[in-house]
Amino acid sequence: MTTSAPLSPDAFARGLAGIVAGRTAISSLEGDLRYRGYAIEPLARAGDFEEVAFLLLHGELPTRAERDAFAARVSAAARALEPAVIEALARLATACPSATPMDALRTGVSMLGQIERDALPGSREALLTQAERLLGQVPALLAVWCDLAAGRPVGPWPDGPLAAALLQRLTGRTPPADHVQIFGTTLVLYAEHEFNASTFTARTIVSTGSDMHSGITGAIGALKGPLHGGANEQVLEVLAAIGSAERAEAWLAEQFAAKRVVMGFGHRVYKDGDVRAKLLGTMCRAMTGGDPGAEALEQLAERVESLMLDRKQLKPNLDWPAARVYHALGLPVAVFTPIFVVARMSGWTAHIIEQIGDNRLIRPLSLYCGPAARDYVPIAAR
């Protein structure tokens, strides 16, 4: 008995490219990038992550009072990380010295799910509370992991906006206002991007009736890959491997000959350049001007950009300038993708709530390409 008619090979899109897999009211890439209808440029220039996270979760920009109350709840969650999770991460740091901050976040969120599920039912209000708590807990987890991995005592979560607090925890210094501003801009730019691989993973997981923390745990795993969020860490390795603008041409030729992709370039949706990369690239050059070391890196980046455009007609994506900004802020490479997690937590949780609010199981079809029908041979006769 067959369950459906054979599929036409034309029905198949490799990597789901170009397939509309659902509806969302959270962000749009049609024409330009907008969060809940607002163009990305002014949101990014304001650089207020809490404002954007509120917008993504609640659908409207907050008033000052709403924003401050939201930020206070997120900050309270960051300060009140469950000791059981810290203890578990401490054991992980000792037992697995090779564990990365991304491993620690995935494990930590999974543990938080165990604790949160005991306390909260699954209503929309409860989901919003879980989302707000995750927005604070995850950057705190990252900071705790960095302390543990370095063998330091776990420090307290500082007061103030999330961008300033996280930057302070990760660098060990009170950051100047211009550093907080551009770091906040990167969080806003990384916050949301409709049906990217990790968001789609999260939506698929909760479409089965599973819980928010399972969706986020899966999303972190999806983001980790170098074709998605992991690219921002690899960008710095690319720049380090090339070393200088003079070596760029030969280095790229080697990559092309070996059919290797160059991290930080290309995008599944933006075929004529990523608006976020353009915006942050300009800010990065303005920020690093006057510092000879950083200027040399910018010259190298510009050379790579022009060669990629000339040889491959490819433009940079957001990870290309974001990696340089994080490097200029004095952040270690191992926290680049985890910072993306901190920011995208806002988009992921908004999508999970949207999916649960209007759910239908996500279950696509596949085009069979295996052996033709054949008869089973009992094991004794093989």
Q: Which residues bind ligand COA (CB under 6 A)?
A: 15, 227, 231, 261-268, 312, 314, 317, 319
Fill in the DSSP letter of residue 209: T
Q: Which is nearer to ligand COA, 175 or 266 (CB)?
A: 266
Q: Which is nearer to ligand COA, 147 or 305 (CB)?
A: 305
CA quadruple 365, 210, 99, 189: dihedral positive or negative?
Answer: positive
How far apart, in Å, are the Cα atoms of 193 and each of 70, 75, 137, 269, 346? 22, 24, 22, 10, 11
Q: Which is nearer to ligand COA, 78 or 187 (CB)?
A: 187
Write the DSSP string, 311-327.
Answer: HH---B-THHHHHHHHH
226 near 220, Cβ under 8 Å? no
Minimum separation from the CB atom of position 324 to ligand COA (A) = 14
Q: Which residue is nearest to ligand COA (CB)?
A: 266
Minimum separation from the CB atom of position 302 to ligand COA (A) = 17
State the Cα–Cα distance between residues 48 and 36, nearest whole angstrom: 16
Minimum separation from the CB atom of position 214 to ligand COA (A) = 24
Three-state DSSP state, 35 = strand
Structure tokens at 84: 């059981």
Minimum separation from the CB atom of position 177 to ligand COA (A) = 29
State the Cα–Cα distance between residues 100 and 81, nearest whole angstrom: 20
Has 48 been annotated as catalytic?
no
Structure tokens at 222: 């999806």
Minimum separation from the CB atom of position 203 to ligand COA (A) = 18
Q: Which is nearer to ligand COA, 232 or 346 (CB)?
A: 232
Q: Measure CA 376 to chain center.
A: 46
Structure tokens at 10: 């034309």
Q: Catalytic pick from 267, 274, 327, 351? A: 267
**Residue 161, C-beta contacts closer than 8 angstroms, at least 6 positions apart:** 48, 49, 50, 71, 180, 184
- Taking residue 326's Cβ as centre, other Cβ atoms within 10 Å add up to 26
Q: Which is nearer to ligand COA, 267 or 344 (CB)?
A: 267
Has 228 been annotated as catalytic?
no
Minimum separation from the CB atom of position 122 to ligand COA (A) = 32
Minimum separation from the CB atom of position 263 to ligand COA (A) = 5
User: What helix, strand, coil percent values describe the chain, rounded to 5?
Assistant: 65, 0, 35
Fill in the DSSP letter of residue 244: S
Q: Which is nearer to ligand COA, 61 or 307 (CB)?
A: 307
Q: Which is nearer to ligand COA, 145 or 348 (CB)?
A: 348
Q: Catalytic pick from 179, 213, 319, 327? A: 319
How far apart, in Å, are the Cα atoms of 116 and each of 34, 102, 127, 131, 143? 32, 21, 10, 11, 20
Instruction: Provide the annotated active-site residues.
Output: 267, 319
